[in-house]
Structure 1
């Protein structure tokens, strides 16, 4: 068989480590006896010559070596006439930075392929069953079942800010304002990111003091660049002003790259502060993520955290984000830090405290709304990766949950709250008249 490969990566991750991973993937491919065509070096951006090189292949194999957005891979997959496979590689949970974040890239791409009705196979691991990946049956889409739970009352007047547009290639963060309003009654106000930056720069110094006082309690705060720290805290003040002026219940913010490249300070620390104060904020302008957080916050009556799934093994998964979980979720006193890739302040760093949790998403995978739930327990484990992260043992098993993440086309953001709120969220599905699916549960039906 002729296998066309596209090895995808981004320079903001650990390129040397990614090259090591790619070499091992290529060695396994070369030992398979198949003819391998296409580029054998990491592709850091869309590459038309690479697309032309893999066009004669019998199967297209996308090598997800680090996190990337899904734009180029989706275009390649949709435009290819034969079977499509995706292979992502794990990294050790060392307590350091996320050097690859390849699982999240696989998650993002699986959602985009689902939206485009493009069948695919997938694998996550170092040594994999290559023949099953290249010749196996594509993922069978999974869909939830009607909810039989008693209806849970929800707010029908949520006010959501969308500040800046979603990044290109993040189909997981797309939304239709009218469809969202019809579904749940939420009103979305679209604001411009440069206007947020201007408001933050113009914020009187006295208005920054409350956020500086919160930051002063963080370990290591004195080691951060004062200018970056001030700019970051000004974002907290500006966001809080917008919340008060418009009475926003939640916000979806385009957090990168412009907060770093144009403004010069991270919004992650401010998001943690606002989340602790019960104004949840979603990264990457994820409007449905913001609505998801607002619903779960009301159900749980507690702060919530919008997390990525960044690693899955046979026993556990890791929930993570750069450094924006509410401080009350910390297993130890939070430390101040900088963004692992962009190296700017302010972020919080801590492992999540042990305890029962619920993960929840108001999903629009495959273009149809449903509620997706997972329950489990954050374990008393060392921090898996820098930022805010926790190691989770899922009630239905990590392998089954991982398979359902791909089969449902689930978005890469899920809201997390402490406690078991699954029954109340099933009731939300009843209220909205949409299906509900519990990840890993065998009771749901194929789409």
Structure 2
């Protein structure tokens, strides 16, 4: 393909809940780099913020007979439109996502997470693609435009561990119950599940509820209970008086509602559709309540991620510690580190002891209660009970959480993985890993490998 002028169909995807001005700056740089290749570009040079504008751009590109389709993952988006694009075009597909500086502020783009969702969704569809994760004006754009896809699917391997210890873990999980509250968001194939398959694999069972039931429970919580919880949380969280008090009250009531559901149903974990309805219909965040529940050994998975909740229960049993369901939001080869993050729901025992945890608001939805702190240093284990590429497997990684300043608002930590960051980046995309992994402090890989052997699960080591 060297020297050949191609027609590149370009689709820049974004969401208005992120930093649009910064996204437009990144997009301008990406477009300049694409134009500098000398190829013929077709498609809009503005962010496509919704399905209607994306569909219109796709139709316009279609009639111009592109040689390759390039999705510019400028901010986070779910994978719905990526899959629609992949279905509509048989031509080779590329995805370019951009990193952002770790400045201690909000995640302004969160584009890597969008790439992560896309790689999982395309992996389920056996659609190979080329990709890059690089800032504008970084050399190497030609590699993404090469004819051969860069994704090399990882093949899970049978665990060689002794299954005896894992059999005890597996037996302990059997009969555990997860309450799923609401459905996972559209475009989040990472959070889809089959309750019968999960039961066959682990013995766990899932009960479904709708969000209005959680909201009704929260609203009916006695005033005295809400006041008592506020006082309790204020003992170890600064800044409670600096957030909207009515929204704070509603958020705390979600914690009490979850407590009530646990007491009534005997649930061991929750998988909750956390956005947008907790903000738009109820008026308070469930992130802080999820942190508190996790600290109490009742893990909560956001985005109604049932397999995420199941993974948390597994790692909690293997580690005998609270766990944290994280997004991997950056991998930086130059620093040889990654960043794991979530809005503000890590168990507070994971806070760096030199930092006072504080109350904050959701960066996109602007409501409390979220917890904010950098994660403490120490060895960590990551795991995901995965359905990547349509195959059940256990995906495991090890690393060391470093003592660093907070990379992004919420709860985040800078981690040095066992493998170099560039290799981790490639293996995360190649594996088709879901965007949520469970994290616990300590090295629990041997126990997890033994569990995989007992459960008959093949393993991928990132």
Q: TM-score, normalised to structure 2's length?
A: 0.94
Does 1:120 pair with 2:141? Answer: no
Superposition deviation, residue 215 in structure 1: 2.3
Superposition deviation, residue 211 in structure 1: 2.4
Does 1:250 pair with 2:269? Answer: yes
CA distance in 2, matches of 1:18, 1:344: 23
CA distance in 1, matches of 2:126, 2:290: 35
Does 1:260 pair with 2:279? Answer: yes
CA distance in 1, matches of 2:32, 2:321: 49
Task: Report what 2:329 is aligned to.
Answer: 310
CA distance in 2, matches of 1:186, 1:211: 31
**C-alpha RMSD of the superposition:** 0.9
Superposition deviation, residue 135 in structure 1: 1.3
The one of 292, 299, 311 aligned to 1:280: 299
CA distance in 2, matches of 1:162, 1:91: 33
Deviates more, 1:297-306 or 1:398-407: 398-407
Task: Report what 1:297 is aligned to.
Answer: 316
SS at match of 2:399: strand
Task: Report what 1:321 is aligned to.
Answer: 342
Does 1:133 pair with 2:140? Answer: no
Map 1:80-95; keep pairs closer than 5 Å. 80-95=89-104
Task: Report what 1:9 is aligned to.
Answer: 14
SS at match of 2:145: helix
Task: Report what 2:3 is aligned to.
Answer: none
Task: Report what 2:56 is aligned to.
Answer: 49
Task: Report what 2:70 is aligned to.
Answer: 61
CA distance in 2, matches of 1:78, 1:198: 41
Q: How many residues align?
A: 439
Superposition deviation, residue 131 in structure 1: 1.5
Does 1:205 pair with 2:223? Answer: yes
Deviates more, 1:141-150 or 1:287-296: 141-150
CA distance in 2, matches of 1:140, 1:31: 28
SS at match of 1:143: coil
SS at match of 1:231: helix
CA distance in 1, matches of 2:427, 2:11: 25
Indicate conservation of the 8 Å contact 2:92/2:147, yes or no. Answer: no
Residue by residue, what CA displacement relative to the aligned partner does 1:85-114 show, whole Å, maximum 9, x if unpaired?
Answer: 000000000000000000000000100000
Map 1:1-400; keep pairs closer than 5 Å. 1-46=6-51, 47-55=54-62, 56-126=65-135, 127-138=138-149, 139-151=151-163, 152=166, 153=168, 154=170, 155-217=173-235, 218-314=237-333, 315-331=336-352, 332-400=355-423
Superposition deviation, residue 53 in structure 1: 2.0
CA distance in 2, matches of 1:11, 1:128: 29
Q: Which 5+ residue runs of structure 2 have no aligned equivalent? A: 1-5
Superposition deviation, residue 378 in structure 1: 0.5
Task: Report what 1:403 is aligned to.
Answer: 426
Residue by residue, what CA displacement relative to the aligned partner does 1:218-253 show, whole Å, maximum 9, x if unpaired?
Answer: 111111111000000000000011111111111100
Indicate conservation of the 8 Å contact 1:78/1:118, yes or no. Answer: no
Indicate conservation of the 8 Å contact 1:310/1:317, yes or no. Answer: yes
Superposition deviation, residue 144 in structure 1: 1.6
Residue by residue, what CA displacement relative to the aligned partner does 1:306-344 show, whole Å, maximum 9, x if unpaired?
Answer: 000001111000000000000000002210000011100
Change (3 A) 1:341 1:438: same
Change (3 A) 1:212 1:92: same
Indicate conservation of the 8 Å contact 2:181/2:272, yes or no. Answer: yes
SS at match of 1:122: strand
CA distance in 1, matches of 2:228, 2:436: 29
Change (3 A) 1:210 1:422: farther
Superposition deviation, residue 136 in structure 1: 4.5
Q: TM-score, normalised to structure 1's length?
A: 0.97
SS at match of 2:157: coil
CA distance in 2, matches of 1:432, 1:94: 42
Indicate conservation of the 8 Å contact 2:272/2:304, yes or no. Answer: yes
Change (3 A) 1:128 1:79: farther
